[in-house]
Structure 1
Amino acid sequence: MTNRDYEVGDTVLVPWGLDLVEGTVVGAYGEGSSLRVLVEVDVGDGATEVLPFSSRALEIAQRPEEKSPPGAWVHSSRYEDALSRTLTQILRQHLAEWHGAVELRTGFKEDRGIDIRAQLPDRVLVVEAKHYSDEHVPLRISVLDQIAAYLREPQRECPHVVGLVVTNTKVLPEIFEHAQELRESGIPLWVAMWRPWEASPRELEHVVTQALDFPVPE
């Protein structure tokens, strides 16, 4: 066993330049954020090479969008990085006493579907970032249901968890309506479209403030 997600002998996709190639898990070393999964990759002419990858890099590579062009995983990773920085700025503007950090959390089974997490004074904010290579592909309602299922589960580290789904693609009215229905049923989940080049992330800031103001028990 290498870690909770990857076992020796597993076939996985790994980043290779701007593309993805298949490799075989052969081991691991380190722990926590320093953990590296060792993957044997065919480098051509019958030769192989064992390369180390972080759990996060592997997790992103395993879930490229359907029919994504080569290199799409790079854009997805950059999107998550940019989003985490913007969320940090928004949270610090609205929570003067908060000096924590927004953490990228992928590659862990208990965080499946959760890309970003922030431990706030009275709640945890979790975020699913959905980057699509084709920005005309609408966000699917199943993405909301996946995060809603996570929010329904008892949380060990904090009983109060609120969630966001943030995407670079268009969000149809029925998606917003579904999110509203979830909130009315007690599932604190919001949706926003955000693109890194936006000078003023008003829509993202709006849903973040709603998540911060959502009433939780004392």
Structure 2
Amino acid sequence: MSDHTYDIGQQVSVPRGLDVVPGVVEGVYGGEGRSEQVVVRIGLEGEESETITVPARILDRARKIKEDHRPGAWLTAYQYEQALAATLATILQSLEVEFRQVRQPVPPDQGVDVAFITPEKIVVVEAKYLTRETLGGEKYLDRLAEHVNRADAEGSGSLSGLLVTNAKVSPRLTSQARRARNMGNSLWVARWAPGDPEGELVDTVRQALTFKVER
């Protein structure tokens, strides 16, 4: 249930896209707790104002996120995938690589969210958005490896798998990816979140594109 009382005229923070925006309470109705709804007028700079109705518990969470000052904190797994795909496309453009983007190239349970097809390489990407601090489960990389190995049955190295997460990557997972590359499997892990510098992700993408199997 909501842990805060909302009054008409009160300034609040409201989820919008990958962040939160300011708004003003114009009305409150419903019972206390989860059923309470808050009518809020929002308007970003340069935009006309808009009135929306938001559950009070959502405003509670947005207020806490705003207090944390974490860019992109209001994020769902789907929004993370969208933001990551757009960022990867921008990186490929900056590297002057021709590519074609394919969203969800395989069924959702196969561990691939987006693929980038270039003249020399196909990079399949799994985006893993977590609320916990560290990504340490080998199962995510194992699943991606299965897809890469199945698609690149000849072991030509024409396919690279990239696992990207907003969480800290555990040393164990980094070592697992390194061992896979030593065995000729182009698997990579990187951390990225909206608002982060893109240096690590750019370096990882560049390596995934240029990886060659040692014969």
Q: Percent identity at matched positions? A: 33
Query: Is the aligned partner of 1:151 residue 2:148?
Result: yes
Matched with 2:160 is 162
1:38-77: CA deviation from partner (whole Å, max 9, x where unpaired): xxxxxxxxxxxxxxxxxxxxxxxxxxxxxxxx9xxx7100
Counterpart CA distance in 2 for 1:103 and 1:84 is 10
When residues 126 and 203 of structure 1 are mapped into structure 2, their CA distance, relative to the original with a 3 A threshold, is: same
When residues 77 and 192 of structure 1 are mapped into structure 2, their CA distance, relative to the original with a 3 A threshold, is: same
1:137-184: CA deviation from partner (whole Å, max 9, x where unpaired): 43311111111111111459xx62111000000111111111000000
User: Structure 1 counterpart of 2:195, which letter?
Assistant: W
Matched with 2:81 is 80
Counterpart CA distance in 2 for 1:155 and 1:129 is 21
User: Structure 2 counterpart of 1:206, which letter?
Assistant: D
Counterpart CA distance in 2 for 1:216 and 1:123 is 12
Matched with 1:180 is 178
CA RMSD of aligned residues (A): 2.7
Matched with 1:196 is 194
Matched with 1:48 is none
User: Structure 2 counterpart of 1:211, which letter?
Assistant: A
Alignment of 1:1-218 (within 5 A): 75-96=76-97, 98=98, 100-105=99-104, 108-109=106-107, 112-134=110-132, 136-155=133-152, 160-198=158-196, 200-215=197-212
Counterpart CA distance in 2 for 1:101 and 1:85 is 13
How many residue pairs match? The answer is 140
User: Structure 1 counterpart of 2:180, which letter?
Assistant: L
SS in 1 for 2:175: helix
SS in 1 for 2:76: helix
- TM-score, normalised relative to structure 2: 0.59
The structure that has the greater radius of gyration is: 2
Counterpart CA distance in 2 for 1:81 and 1:154 is 24
Q: Where in structure 2 are there 5+ consecutive unaligned residues? A: 1-60, 62-74
Counterpart CA distance in 1 for 2:84 and 2:117 is 16
Matched with 2:18 is none
Give the ranges of 4+ consecutive aligned residues of structure 1 lying more than 6 Å apart after TM superposition: none
Matched with 2:39 is none
Counterpart CA distance in 1 for 2:86 and 2:122 is 17
User: Structure 2 counterpart of 1:209, which letter?
Assistant: R
Give the deviation of 1:110 after TM superposition.
8.6
